Amino acid sequence: MQKKPLLFESACIFSIVGSTIGFVGMFISTFFFGFVTEKIRSVTDLTATENLSPMYFAMLMAAFSVSLAGAIKLYRMERVGLWFYLAAQTIILFLPVFWLGNNAFSETSAIFTILFSGVYLAYYRLLKG
Protein backbone atom coordinates (compact mmCIF):
# COMPACT_ATOMS: atom_id res chain seq x y z
CA MET A 1 0.00 0.00 0.00
CA GLN A 2 1.35 3.40 -0.94
CA LYS A 3 1.98 6.10 1.63
CA LYS A 4 -0.94 8.50 1.89
CA PRO A 5 -0.35 12.26 1.76
CA LEU A 6 -0.63 13.77 5.25
CA LEU A 7 -3.42 16.17 4.25
CA PHE A 8 -5.48 13.37 2.68
CA GLU A 9 -4.98 11.02 5.63
CA SER A 10 -5.85 13.77 8.12
CA ALA A 11 -9.03 14.61 6.22
CA CYS A 12 -10.01 10.93 6.22
CA ILE A 13 -9.45 10.59 9.95
CA PHE A 14 -11.44 13.74 10.70
CA SER A 15 -14.24 12.53 8.40
CA ILE A 16 -14.32 9.16 10.16
CA VAL A 17 -14.50 10.85 13.56
CA GLY A 18 -17.15 13.35 12.44
CA SER A 19 -19.31 10.72 10.75
CA THR A 20 -19.07 8.46 13.80
CA ILE A 21 -20.14 11.29 16.11
CA GLY A 22 -22.99 12.18 13.72
CA PHE A 23 -24.12 8.55 13.52
CA VAL A 24 -24.11 8.12 17.31
CA GLY A 25 -25.96 11.42 17.78
CA MET A 26 -28.64 10.51 15.25
CA PHE A 27 -28.92 6.99 16.72
CA ILE A 28 -29.58 8.46 20.15
CA SER A 29 -32.01 11.01 18.69
CA THR A 30 -33.90 8.29 16.80
CA PHE A 31 -34.30 5.81 19.62
CA PHE A 32 -34.66 8.31 22.48
CA PHE A 33 -36.74 10.82 20.54
CA GLY A 34 -38.90 11.97 23.48
CA PHE A 35 -35.90 12.64 25.68
CA VAL A 36 -34.05 14.48 22.90
CA THR A 37 -37.01 16.69 21.99
CA GLU A 38 -37.47 17.62 25.65
CA LYS A 39 -33.81 18.67 25.82
CA ILE A 40 -34.20 20.69 22.62
CA ARG A 41 -37.31 22.39 24.03
CA SER A 42 -35.42 23.29 27.20
CA VAL A 43 -32.97 25.44 25.20
CA THR A 44 -35.24 26.72 22.40
CA ASP A 45 -38.85 27.75 21.95
CA LEU A 46 -41.64 25.14 21.94
CA THR A 47 -42.19 25.30 18.17
CA ALA A 48 -38.59 24.27 17.39
CA THR A 49 -39.43 20.57 17.62
CA GLU A 50 -42.85 20.45 15.97
CA ASN A 51 -41.49 19.23 12.60
CA LEU A 52 -39.04 16.73 14.04
CA SER A 53 -39.77 13.02 14.04
CA PRO A 54 -37.85 9.81 14.61
CA MET A 55 -37.90 9.28 10.83
CA TYR A 56 -35.99 12.53 10.30
CA PHE A 57 -33.25 11.42 12.67
CA ALA A 58 -33.25 7.89 11.19
CA MET A 59 -32.70 9.30 7.70
CA LEU A 60 -29.80 11.40 8.95
CA MET A 61 -28.43 8.36 10.81
CA ALA A 62 -28.48 6.39 7.54
CA ALA A 63 -26.72 9.24 5.72
CA PHE A 64 -24.04 9.43 8.41
CA SER A 65 -23.49 5.67 8.15
CA VAL A 66 -22.96 5.99 4.38
CA SER A 67 -20.62 8.93 5.00
CA LEU A 68 -18.69 6.81 7.52
CA ALA A 69 -18.42 3.93 5.04
CA GLY A 70 -17.21 6.37 2.39
CA ALA A 71 -14.61 7.90 4.71
CA ILE A 72 -13.30 4.43 5.62
CA LYS A 73 -13.09 3.51 1.93
CA LEU A 74 -11.29 6.77 1.23
CA TYR A 75 -8.83 5.98 4.02
CA ARG A 76 -8.22 2.67 2.22
CA MET A 77 -7.63 4.71 -0.96
CA GLU A 78 -10.73 3.33 -2.75
CA ARG A 79 -12.41 5.63 -5.31
CA VAL A 80 -15.91 4.42 -4.54
CA GLY A 81 -15.52 5.98 -1.10
CA LEU A 82 -15.51 9.43 -2.66
CA TRP A 83 -18.93 8.87 -4.24
CA PHE A 84 -20.35 7.42 -1.00
CA TYR A 85 -18.99 10.40 0.92
CA LEU A 86 -20.23 13.05 -1.55
CA ALA A 87 -23.73 11.55 -1.80
CA ALA A 88 -24.08 11.22 1.97
CA GLN A 89 -22.80 14.72 2.68
CA THR A 90 -25.21 16.19 0.14
CA ILE A 91 -28.09 14.48 1.95
CA ILE A 92 -26.78 15.60 5.35
CA LEU A 93 -26.58 19.20 4.12
CA PHE A 94 -29.94 19.43 2.39
CA LEU A 95 -32.28 17.04 4.26
CA PRO A 96 -32.73 19.55 7.11
CA VAL A 97 -33.57 22.27 4.57
CA PHE A 98 -36.24 20.12 2.91
CA TRP A 99 -37.62 18.81 6.21
CA LEU A 100 -37.46 21.92 8.39
CA GLY A 101 -37.11 24.89 6.03
CA ASN A 102 -34.41 27.29 4.88
CA ASN A 103 -33.41 28.26 8.41
CA ALA A 104 -32.05 24.74 8.95
CA PHE A 105 -29.19 25.16 6.45
CA SER A 106 -25.81 25.01 8.18
CA GLU A 107 -23.14 27.22 6.67
CA THR A 108 -20.53 25.64 8.92
CA SER A 109 -21.37 22.16 7.66
CA ALA A 110 -21.31 23.41 4.09
CA ILE A 111 -17.84 24.93 4.56
CA PHE A 112 -16.42 21.72 6.04
CA THR A 113 -18.09 19.58 3.37
CA ILE A 114 -16.62 21.73 0.60
CA LEU A 115 -13.20 21.77 2.27
CA PHE A 116 -13.02 18.00 2.80
CA SER A 117 -14.52 17.22 -0.62
CA GLY A 118 -11.93 19.49 -2.20
CA VAL A 119 -9.12 17.59 -0.47
CA TYR A 120 -10.52 14.24 -1.63
CA LEU A 121 -11.02 15.49 -5.19
CA ALA A 122 -7.47 16.90 -5.28
CA TYR A 123 -6.11 13.42 -4.54
CA TYR A 124 -8.60 11.58 -6.76
CA ARG A 125 -5.87 10.40 -9.15
CA LEU A 126 -4.13 8.54 -6.29
CA LEU A 127 -7.23 6.53 -5.43
CA LYS A 128 -7.54 3.02 -6.78
CA GLY A 129 -10.60 1.39 -8.13
Report pLDDT digits (tens) over 34-48. Answer: 999 888 888 887 566
Q: What is the mean pLDDT of the chain?
A: 93
Could you tell me the residue range of the domain that residue 89 belongs to? 6-126
Q: What is the mean pLDDT of residues 107-120?
A: 96
State pTM to two decimals: 0.92
Q: Which residues of 34-69 are buried (b: 16+ CB within 10 A; e: fewer)?
A: eebbeeeeeeeeeeebeebebebbbbbbebbbbbbb
Q: Is 45 inside a domain boundary? A: yes
Confirm whether 1 is domain-assigned.
no
Q: How far apart are CA 47 and CA 122, in angstroms?
A: 43
**According to the model, what pLDDT value does residue 43 have?**
86
Read off the pLDDT of residues 43-102 as tens digits, 9 standing for 90 and up: 887 566 788 999 999 999 999 999 999 999 999 999 999 999 999 999 999 999 999 888
What's the number of domains the chain is made of? 1
